[in-house]
């Protein structure tokens, strides 16, 4: 950002005062001061807890001595930990793929609705995303209730046997992913819709003149034009989904037999409920390198394409 000096109407004042005034008049200084409350908030609410979590992860169970990477070494030897790693990856990757597919399809449907009624649909489709997840998950909990599931009640007349939505490992994993997709797909939809609206019509017209089919238009026009937004949305969603807590906590609390625990819920179980805070901190920090690697790859790709353009 270029710094611009203020008109020197105060040239007659002392040097120190004048330079302070100049400093205050600089755009960069004003920008910094305006961003300062946010920077302070981030330092207090993000940087400090993150640093403190790193510090906790280096302590022993009794938090009395420094053990370096001892907690991570311990975790690597635990079967339950690897089960949690597997489940977190399964949960996040599956959910993001489905959210992306559903978001993409629905965005196309909405894009094709005449603009007059489109607003209404956009609003309605965003509802799952704007309701606080803990609240909507509670509604899902009742729908999946082990003994009184409303979904099972509706399926019964169709001759479908009672489904143990949260009682069997496979179904429980399916249920938590389903709820995550239900909550998160509207975010993809709205991002993709915005991207679709920015694709110039001329490109489709040119493709049509060249005799491109519907699929070819998607493959050669829409997808390349949306690539960056798809990558950023997927990255953002992957981070948020990996760090999920509320859906699993409310729906299954990690059960049955630990089969739905993800990093966040298991860290809570071990650290807060079980009283081993350093180990809980280590579990929650384990996802940082995974997400950092994913972010580096995706962002590198975006930068590369940006420079190509």
Could you list the residues that contact other proteins (CB under 8 A)? 60-62, 74, 77-80, 146-148, 162, 164-167, 172, 252-258, 269-270, 272-277
Q: What is the DSSP string of the chain?
A: ----PPP-TTTTS-HHHHHHHHHHHSHHHHHHHHHHHHHHHHIIIIIHHHHHHHHHHTB-TTS-SB-TTHHHHHHHT-HHHHHHHHHHHHHHHHHHHHHHHHHHHHHHHHHHS-HHHHHHHHHHHHHHHHS-HHHHHHHHHHHT-TTT-HHHHHHGGGTPPPP-TTTSHHHHHHHHHHHHHHHHHHHHHHHHHHHHHTS-HHHHHHHHHTT--HHHHIIIIIHHHHHHHHHHHHHHHHHHHHT--HHHHHHTTT-STTTT--HHHHHHIIIIISS-HHHHHHHHHHHHHHHHHHHHHHHHHHHHHHHH-
To other proteins, the closest distance from the beta carbon of 275 in angstroms equals: 5
Task: State which residue, 196 or 277, has the beta carbon closest to other proteins.
Answer: 277
Kindly tell me which of 190 and 285 has the beta carbon lying closer to other proteins.
Answer: 285
Residue 166 C-beta: closest distance to other proteins, Å? 4
Would residue 258 be called left, alpha or beta, if left means φ above 0 and alpha means ψ between -120 and 50 degrees?
left
Nearest distance, CB of residue 216 and other proteins, angstroms:
48
Distance CA 22, CA 207 (A): 56
What is the C-alpha to C-alpha distance for residues 275 and 254, in angstroms, rounded to an integer?
Answer: 17
**Cβ closer to other proteins: 73 or 210?**
73
Judged by beta carbon, residue 151 or residue 229, the one nearer other proteins is 151
Minimum gap (Å) between residue 187 Cβ and other proteins = 25
**CB 52 → other proteins: shortest distance, Å?**
9
Q: Nearer to other proteins by C-beta: 207 or 256?
A: 256
Give the nearer residue to other proteins in terms of CB position, either 99 or 276. 276
Supply the minimum distance, in Å, between the C-beta of residue 152 and other proteins: 10
How many other CB atoms sit within 10 Å of the CB of residue 11? 7
Nearer Cβ to other proteins, position 50 or 292? 50
Q: How far is the CB of 184 from other proteins (least distance, A)?
A: 23
Q: Give the shortest CB-273-to-other proteins separation in angstroms.
A: 5
Q: Which is nearer to other proteins, 117 or 146 (CB)?
A: 146
Give me 37's structure tokens: 């409350």
């Amino acid at each position: 950002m270029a710094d611009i000096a203020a008109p020197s109407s105060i040239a007659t004042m002392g040097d120190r005062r004048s330079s302070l005034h100049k400093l205050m008049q600089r755009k960069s200084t004003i920008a910094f001061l305006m961003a300062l409350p946010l920077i302070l908030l981030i330092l207090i609410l993000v940087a400090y807890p993150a640093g403190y979590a790193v510090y906790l992860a280096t302590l022993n169970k009794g938090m009395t001595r420094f053990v370096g990477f001892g907690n991570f070494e311990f975790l690597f030897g635990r079967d339950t930990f690897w089960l949690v790693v597997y489940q977190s990856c399964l949960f996040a990757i599956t959910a993001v793929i489905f959210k992306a597919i559903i978001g993409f399809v629905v965005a196309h449907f909405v894009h094709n609705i005449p603009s007059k009624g489109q607003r209404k649909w956009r609003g309605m489709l965003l509802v799952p995303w704007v309701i606080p997840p803990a609240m909507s998950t509670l509604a899902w909990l009742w729908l999946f209730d082990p003994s009184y599931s409303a979904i099972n009640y509706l399926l019964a007349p169709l001759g479908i046997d009672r489904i143990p939505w949260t009682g069997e490992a496979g179904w429980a994993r399916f249920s938590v992913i389903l709820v995550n997709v239900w909550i998160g797909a509207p975010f993809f939809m709205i991002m993709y819709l915005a991207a679709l609206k920015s694709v110039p019509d001329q490109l489709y017209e040119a493709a049509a003149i060249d005799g491109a089919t519907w699929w070819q238009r998607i493959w050669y026009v829409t997808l390349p034009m949306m690539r960056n937004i798809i990558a950023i949305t997927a990255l953002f969603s992957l981070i948020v989904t990996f760090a999920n807590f509320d859906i699993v906590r409310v729906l299954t609390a990690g059960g049955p037999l630990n089969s739905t625990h993800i990093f966040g819920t298991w860290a809570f179980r071990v650290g807060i409920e079980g009283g081993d805070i350093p180990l809980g901190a280590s579990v929650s920090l384990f996802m940082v390198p995974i997400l950092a690697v994913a972010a580096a790859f995706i962002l590198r790709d975006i930068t590369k394409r940006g420079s190509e353009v």
